[in-house]
């Protein structure tokens, strides 16, 4: 066992943060403080602090006790709300949360060694339309706004001259088994398949025709957490950015029959629909299915954020990151994405989240 390490995971209840917490706690020499507005149970070597990072006073008061922190894993996200919600209005909350978290923790702890900042493939404009693929870390940014750029620029300037450094990780579409965290692809596929089957339909790809045949990539959450641990502790990762994906690419048209097999369903011809619109009236059906099949009682909107699935299945352009750099720097884990989908979806069935 090495020297004791104390992580602060910012956004500890998120789709990414919860896996980082889980991963770090498997290491005997780590203890973890998790931050989010919601409260959560403490556990062995884990303490949860409920704090609103957009409230500078609340953040300063609660973070000043984190004098032991050696590492920060920053995986918080807050979407702007209201009519102006969009790329530009996401900047202020997400830049300010980072500023309040890092200034508070680095001010409290002289032991801080590294900050791991989670950004994503949207750095390259993967959400805007076709972009240069495979994307490499050295590629130029897309046309702003993009809150990642504001976070990176602030952290770059703030870290200068400090005794700690930082590392940026760029994942793509996280996939994990975390029922109740709706911004995730696996439950969207599981619930969509289950509803289709209940209605006697084949499993049809609901996205754009071009998305069925384009190249895509994802990042398994547990794999990403391994990468975050590596990036936090590998000396050479300081002041570097890394794409982190499963390391393979796929086309939905090849994966879809395998997803259908998990649900014992025939594959249908793709049919483009808005899941947001077509699932809007299925809450009642889901309640009935929950009762009929004895499923764990998750409300429909707790399980899936349909706009997220529409976004993923609407990418009718190649989405590919080059992961050569992380391999060169020493992170060699890979995940077979087809095997991952079958395994995760099988778990949604086995654990009675879907029939």
Give the residues lining the site for ligand NAP (CB under 6 A): 11-17, 35-38, 51-54, 75-78, 97, 118, 120, 171-174, 181, 183
Q: Which is nearer to ligand NAP, 77 or 286 (CB)?
A: 77
Q: Are 12 and 18 in contact (CB under 8 A)?
A: yes
Smallest gap from residue 75 Cβ to ligand NAP (A): 5
Least distance CB 37 / ligand NAP (angstroms): 3
Least distance to ligand NAP from the beta carbon of 305, Å? 9
Residue 36 or 106 with smaller CB distance to ligand NAP: 36
What DSSP string runs through 52-94?
-TTSHHHHHHHHTT-TT--EEEE-------STT-STTTTHHHH
CB nearer ligand NAP, residue 15 or residue 262 = 15
Of 156 and 271, nearer to ligand NAP (C-beta) is 156
Instruction: Sort strands 174-175 and 219-220 into parallel, antiparallel or unpaired.
Output: parallel
Q: Minimum distance from CB of 241 to ligand NAP (Å)?
A: 13
Q: Which is nearer to ligand NAP, 218 or 265 (CB)?
A: 218
Q: How far is the CB of 272 from ligand NAP (least distance, A)?
A: 22
Sign of CA dihedral 69, 72, 73, 74: positive
How near is the Cβ of 108 to ligand NAP at its closest, in Å? 16
**What is the DSSP secondary structure assignment for residue 178, as one 8-state letter?**
-
Instruction: Give the closest residue to 115 by CA, choosing from 238, 224, 236.
Output: 238
Is the Cβ of residue 176 or residue 206 nearer to ligand NAP in the bound state?
A: 176
Quote the least distance from Cβ 294 to ligand NAP, whole Å.
28
* Residue number closest to ligand NAP, CB atom: 14
- The phi and psi torsions of 34 (rounded to 5 degrees) equal -105, 140
For ligand NAP, the closer of residues 11 and 206 by Cβ is 11
Helices and strands, counts by H and E, the chain: 14, 11
Residues contacting residue 345 through CB under 8 Å, at least 6 positions apart: 186, 189, 190, 193, 259, 262, 263
**How far apart, in whole angstroms, are the C-alpha atoms of residue 12 and residue 40?**
9
- Are 238 and 212 in contact, with CB atoms under 8 Å apart? no
């Amino acid at each position: 066992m090495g020297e004791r390490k104390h992580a602060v995971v910012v956004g500890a209840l998120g789709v990414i943060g919860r896996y980082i917490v889980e991963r770090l706690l498997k290491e005997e020499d780590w203890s973890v403080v998790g931050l989010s507005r919601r409260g959560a149970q403490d556990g062995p070597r884990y303490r949860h602090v409920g704090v609103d990072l957009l409230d500078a006073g609340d953040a300063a008061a609660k973070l000043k006790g984190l004098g032991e922190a050696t590492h920060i894993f920053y995986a918080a996200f807050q979407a702007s709300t209201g009519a102006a919600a969009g790329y530009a209005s996401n900047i202020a909350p997400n830049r300010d949360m980072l500023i309040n978290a890092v200034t508070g923790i680095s001010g409290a702890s002289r032991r801080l060694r590294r900050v791991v900042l989670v950004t994503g493939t949207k750095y390259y404009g993967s959400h805007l339309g076709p972009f240069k693929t495979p994307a490499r870390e050295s590629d130029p940014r897309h046309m702003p706004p993009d809150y990642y750029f504001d976070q990176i620029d602030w952290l770059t300037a703030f870290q200068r001259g400090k005794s700690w450094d930082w590392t940026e990780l760029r994942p793509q579409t996280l996939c994990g088994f975390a029922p109740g965290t709706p911004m995730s692809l696996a439950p969207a596929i599981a619930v969509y398949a289950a509803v289709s089957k209940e209605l006697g339909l084949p499993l049809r790809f609901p996205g754009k025709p071009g998305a069925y045949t384009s190249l895509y990539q994802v990042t398994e959450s547990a794999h990403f957490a391994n990468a975050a641990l590596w990036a936090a502790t590998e000396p050479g990762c300081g002041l570097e950015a890394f794409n982190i994906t499963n390391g393979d690419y796929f086309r939905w048209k090849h994966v879809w029959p395998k997803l259908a097999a998990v649900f014992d369903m025939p594959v249908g011809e793709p049919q483009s629909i808005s899941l947001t619109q077509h699932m809007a009236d299925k809450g009642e059906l889901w309640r009935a299915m929950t009762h009929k099949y004895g499923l764990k009682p998750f409300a429909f909107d707790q399980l899936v954020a349909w706009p997220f699935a529409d976004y993923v299945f609407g990418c009718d352009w190649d989405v590919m990151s080059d992961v050569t750099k992380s391999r060169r720097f020493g992170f060699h884990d890979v995940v077979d994405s087809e095997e991952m989908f079958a395994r995760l979806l099988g778990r949604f069935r086995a654990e009675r989240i879907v029939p």
